Amino acid sequence: EADIYQTPRYLVIGTGKKITLECSQTMGHDKMYWYQQDPGMELHLIHYSYGVNSTEKGDLSSESTVSRIRTEHFPLTLESARPSHTSQYLCASSDPWGQGANYGYTFGSGTRLTVV
Amino acid sequence: KQEVTQIPAALSVPEGENLVLNCSFTDSAIYNLQWFRQDPGKGLTSLLLIQSSQREQTSGRLNASLDKSSGRSTLYIAASQPGDSATYLCAVSYSGGGADGLTFGKGTHLIIQP
């Protein structure tokens, strides 16, 4: 079944560590996104990609970086984690012109990151 | 800059009631509007998507309407059940390419009392 997968689900890490949050989709979508959501707050777009080798910054400034070497894979990296990076990170993909179950935006289950 | 507002912020009703969640957006030049459900600590589950040319969409006990000219959408939930308890998010998209992603409201936190 087509879906979007994020790992890990939960991550507790020390300040200064480098981390990579994984996101993979089998939806066949070209466009992928990373959103950040603080508890009780709305989601904010931090990165997006139109396809392979395309990466763009979103509305909310973020110290993270992304890469898109393969269509199905869109990892997010923090070179040096800080407590201010503690948040939930949600990955999504979209096919606004698609049909059926793959239409619109599909989200992963999220990674809840805590930096201590 | 587009803003999406959801009213009420929280709602608690007894099981079996019909209820309406409201969403408004400041710029009517949307491509589509999507309603999601988010359970605590989880990702988003898509409920309904309405294209800008459509007036409503239905799925089971859910019905979403869109009035693009007034910048409003409603999500109607019929015969509510305790399993409907979650946060409901409204989001709008401005381009078919999804270049700018979705702009979200803060959500309506819904509790259905057994």
Query: Tell me, what DSSP letter sits at residue B100?
Result: T
Indicate which of A107, A109, A111 best probes the interface with B, i.e. most B CBs within 10 Å of its own CB. Answer: A107
**CA atoms in the 13 A half-sphere facing the CB of B40:** 5
Inter-chain touch B105–A94, beta carbons under 8 Å: no
Residue A99 carries which side chain, given as an amino acid letter? Q
In angstroms, the Cα distances linking A89 to A82, B31, B72, B107, B109 are: 15, 25, 28, 17, 20
Q: What is the pLDDT of residues B24-57, one digit of tens each?
A: 999 888 888 999 999 987 889 999 999 888 999 9
- pLDDT at B72 > cutoff 70: yes
- pLDDT at A99 > cutoff 60: no
Q: What is the pLDDT of residues A25-72, one digit of tens each?
A: 998 888 899 999 998 888 999 999 989 999 999 888 889 999 999 999
Averaged over B66-84, what is the pLDDT?
96
Inter-chain touch A90–B44, beta carbons under 8 Å: yes
Provide the 10 A C-beta neighbour count for residue B60. Answer: 8
Examine residue B8 and say whether the peptide bond preceding it is cis (omega within 30 degrees of 0): yes
Question: Is A41 an 8 Å CB contact of chain B?
Answer: yes
Q: How far apart are CA B63 and CA B48, in angstroms?
A: 8
- Total residues belonging to chain B: 114
pLDDT at site A101: 46
Which tokens go with B70? 């007034």
Query: Tell me, what DSSP letter sits at residue B84?
Result: G
